[in-house]
Amino acid sequence: MARPKAKIDLVELEKLCGMQCTDEQIAAFFGVSTRTIERRRLVAKFKEIMDNAKAKGRISVRRALFKSAAAGNIAASDLPVEKPSRLQGRG
């Protein structure tokens, strides 16, 4: 007999992804394994929600860093939001 499908609230998933939570953190929140999150990501709607929320979260972080740097916080201006992979390998 198959195990019942774990219930993952998509609204809560969107909030967690917007806060840049890892798969491990999301899995712990819903009481499922990281493998469950990975399998669900294969579903288009689930993947779209995660990807869009994470993108919006990165924008929020950038906006907050920019605002902090503009207000004179030197440290905020030096923090990268994500690894500039397109620049790697250039001398």
- pTM, 2 dp: 0.72
- Tens digits of per-residue pLDDT, 25-66? 999 999 999 999 999 999 999 999 999 999 999 988 888 888
- Give the C-alpha separation, 35 to 22, whole Å: 13
Structure confidence at residue 5 (pLDDT) = 85
What pLDDT score does 84 carry?
52
Contacts of 45 (CB under 8 A, 6+ apart): 10
Mean per-residue pLDDT for 6-35? Answer: 95
Whole-angstrom distance, CA of residue 31 vs CA of residue 53: 21
Helix 10-18 with 23-30: angle, nearest 10 deg:
150
